[in-house]
Amino acid sequence: MAKIMIQGTGSSVGKSILVTALCRIFKQDGYSVCPFKSQNMSLNSYITLDGKEMGRAQVLQAYASGLQPEAYMNPILLKPTSDKKCQIIVNGKVYGNSTAMEYHNMKLEFRDMLKEQFEKMEKEFDIIVMEGAGSPAEINLRDRDIVNMGMAELVDAPVLLAGDIDKGGVFASLAGTMVLFTEDEGKRVKGTIINKFRGDVEILKPGLTMLEDIIKVPCLGVVPYFNLALEDEDGAVQFNTKVTAPIDIAVIKLPHISNFTDLDALKSEADVSVRFINSLEEFGHPDLLIIPGSKNTIEDLLKLRECGLERAIKEYSKTGLVMGICGGYQILGKLIKDPYGVETEVKEVEAMGLLDIETIFEEEKVTTRVNAESIEDFNVYNEDNSMENIKLKTYGYEIHMGICTYGKNAKPLFRILDKNGEKVEILDGAINTDRNIMGTYIHGIFDGVDFREYMLNRIRVKKGMKTKKSGTYESLRELELDKLADIVRANIDMNKIYEIMNIKK
């Protein structure tokens, strides 16, 4: 079994996407490969087929490897609830809530578990591609590190160090990181990768030679800046604020926004622009307004109220199209209660009142994969603009601690037909009488073709545009993963990477 680890000079330098690329390259070359990130901090999470929670970055890496995502690929997931607190997910299940210092003090408790998990993976796969987190040169965290050099040392993995030239100062950040390593840590670094390069690489080459002379580590490649329809690296998403296509979808950028990967399928549509707003000045005149998920729904609702966006949303909802997902769905309701202090010390708050539902936060989290269909028939436009009335099928996953109850004027939106493979009949979501305000607990709601196509064609017809068929998001993702592999393969020394892993090509 071979292994390689990508660490970076800091956050958002492209570690996740490089791991994704290597996973796809190794798969293309005929190896069984698996991603691994021991600890991930992210509000973008995913539910596996067996109902476990993991970080979204490792989900994309699993698909690149030709695998179904499994929680062992990301054994520890930290989900921030405030600047100093987070929820800890271990092996897919809630472990507890803690402050940053409390978690820092408990990290070493997980070392044996991480090593055991990794050793099981070693027996299953030809290659494991590991990912670090943030910077490995946080010298104040070295003694309790379980995600960067601490993890590399635990399983004796060689390391490639990635730097982001688009930020500026890439030579200084690579050299500075190497200076802060201990002697043993420095020996573990077998190569560097310059990421997100724009321009003529010939101009860069003298700098690469000088850098190699300084740090005594070869540069294995320079990866160009590119745009592909793939999920952004955790914490690295660029929240677009401009209208760039005929269909204008505005997303409220909540302070504790989570699972904004729910919007990626919309971004894949050529005539769709997805922009994020957090002020009245940015609101504009969107064709669809989305209130996304949140890790602190009550606090985010109060922020919307404070800055005036709640008033703007209510006014827009009189004629516009509004969609709430998970926390956004709860915000659209009448009342939110938190009797156990799950999210905040505020026990009860009046919500926007646009849907006749009430939410109460329970102590146990719902984490399920679901398939569902709309309860009512919807007018679906064909390519010739003719219509037929059908039930909309969809799928996705639930991650929430809130349970909704329906008022007398509430109309459920979906009927969940199975949860984690078990047949059920459970109501989900709500829709108003005019069918312009709706909400759901189902994350990934736009990944399914039926619902995405219905929503977008509804907008296209209103704007006088030609209706379109939507493609499956999964097929688009596969094409983009292959493009990613082609770009990275063409610009880094794969022979050297195989040599570092002691694999003879």
Rounded CA separation 392/378 (Å) = 7
pLDDT in tens, the chain (505 residues): 899 999 999 999 999 999 999 999 999 999 999 999 999 998 889 999 999 999 999 999 999 999 999 999 999 999 988 778 899 999 999 999 999 899 999 999 999 999 999 999 999 999 999 999 999 999 999 999 999 999 999 999 999 999 999 999 999 999 999 999 999 999 999 999 999 999 999 999 999 999 999 999 999 999 999 988 787 655 555 688 899 999 999 999 999 999 988 999 999 899 999 999 999 999 999 999 999 999 999 999 999 999 999 999 999 999 999 999 999 999 999 999 999 888 888 999 999 999 999 999 998 899 999 999 999 999 887 767 778 899 999 999 999 999 999 999 889 999 999 999 999 999 999 999 999 999 999 999 999 899 999 999 999 999 999 999 888 888 889 999 999 999 999 999 999 999 999 998 7
Domain with CATH 3.40.50.880 in the chain: 247-470
**Cβ atoms of 162 and 9 closer than 8 Å:** yes
Burial class (CB in 10 A: 0-12, 13-18, 19+), 438: buried
At 43 the pLDDT is: 85
Q: Cite the active site residues.
A: 326, 443
Which residues, other chains included, contact 349 with Cβ-Cβ below 8 Å and sequence gap of 6+? 298, 301, 302, 335, 336
Homologous superfamily of the 247-470 domain (CATH): Class I glutamine amidotransferase (GATase) domain (3.40.50.880)
At 343 the pLDDT is: 85
Domain with CATH 3.40.50.300 in the chain: 2-230
Q: How does DSSP assign 446-491, residue by residue?
A: TTSHHHHHHHHHHHHHHTTPPP-PPPPHHHHHHHHHHHHHHHHHHH
Domain topology for 2-230: Rossmann fold (3.40.50)
At 378 the pLDDT is: 93
Question: Residue 112: in which H helix or E strand, if any?
Answer: helix 111-124
Which residues, other chains included, contact 3 with Cβ-Cβ below 8 Å and sequence gap of 6+? 122, 127, 128, 129, 130, 155, 157, 158, 501
Task: Supply φ then ψ for residue 122, to 5 degrees.
Answer: -60, -30
Give me 37's structure tokens.
């990130």
Indicate the residue type of 169.
G
